[in-house]
Amino acid sequence: MPRPGRNTYSDQKPPYSYISLTAMAIQSAPEKMLPLSDIYKFIMERFPYYRENTQRWQNSLRHNLSFNDCFIKIPRRPDQPGKGSFWALHPSCGDMFENGSFLRRRKRFKVLKSDPLAPSKPADAAQYLQHQAKLRLSALAASGAAAHLPQVPAAAAAYNLGGVAQPSGFKHPFAIENIIAREYKMPGGLAFSAMQPVPAAYPLPNQLSTMGSSLGAGWSHVYGSAGMIESATPIPMAGGDYSAYGVPLKPLCHAAGQTLPAIPVPIKPTPAAVPALPALPAPLPALLSNSPPSLSPTSSQTATSQSSPATPSETLTSPASALHSVAVH
């Protein structure tokens, strides 16, 4: 057990597409965005399968990031070291896996680029996300676990999505919590099994629930503190297995990853109640309805602590700029 050796753990391919894997990674981050290398890390830490053939799947993953509109690229600030941009989920990509399968979406999410004024510029997206992150942090602080909050640029959400603004408490359907939770609840007896063509050898998350709490023996394709056990497991990858990356393995997603609820909670109150383009009027009410368990109080915001000198210039305007997005067919 201590030494996984090689290929000790199931090397079966996890029942997730690259899109869902990437979405999970992104959602696990406090800021809801990650650089490419951290997406890699997230996946490798949790899915042993992806600790091999890295060249292959990472190329595929990169292709997916570029190719799919559900991923948006957010530029780094000049004062931020590091390579590449951050990747985030398009705010209105909705639940792309409503059908229950994380292998295949019903439809591909596509953004209709209509007018050249389209606010789909990365900068706007960045502001949008930062704004959201700020809200979440603020909410957290207000809830008591106050510490020091990074001064997120006060830029208001410029990423106007025609009413698709999400309350800070909102969790994307891709949040690993949600993914797990969904499998957990599943209406009626219709459980996870109903959707998985996966070989029986695949212990699935919902089975894990019945197993009590002991991971390790359960989810064979997942490795490490995937998030459902909040035991202080700093991810047992001490060995320099991943040194190929030369990345110091700073607990970046660590913070969000291990703070997931021990018991998955239903996130979405009502399924089918979250269309991609709801056009809800004022989504600000229930902020802490289900306060995200992420952002563990103990772990400071180590992640991208870029706190740039608040640029006071912003206006909540950005009116007619409606970003059309739709599931293309």
Binding-site ranges for DNA (CB under 7 A)? 17-19, 35-37, 40, 56-57, 59-60, 62-67, 73, 76, 83-85, 87, 96, 99, 101, 103-108, 197, 245-246, 327-329
Cβ nearer to DNA, comparing 189 with 246: 246
Closest CA to 171 of 248, 256, 78, 231: 256
Instruction: Name the strand (E) or helix (H) holding 27.
Output: helix 18-28
Pairwise CA distance, residues 307 & 123, whole Å: 16
Closest CA to 203 of 176, 222, 177, 228: 222
Cβ nearer to DNA, comparing 19 with 155: 19
Assess contact for 253 and 38: CB atoms under 8 A.
yes
Cβ nearer to DNA, comparing 105 with 221: 105
Cβ nearer to DNA, comparing 108 with 185: 108
Cβ nearer to DNA, comparing 56 with 148: 56
Cα dihedral sign, 190-196-202-204: negative
- Measured in degrees and rounded to the nearest 5, phi and psi for residue 182 equal -60, -45
Q: How far is the CB of 62 from DNA (least distance, A)?
A: 4
Going by DSSP bridges, is the β-strand pair 71-74/33-35 parallel, antiparallel, or unpaired? unpaired
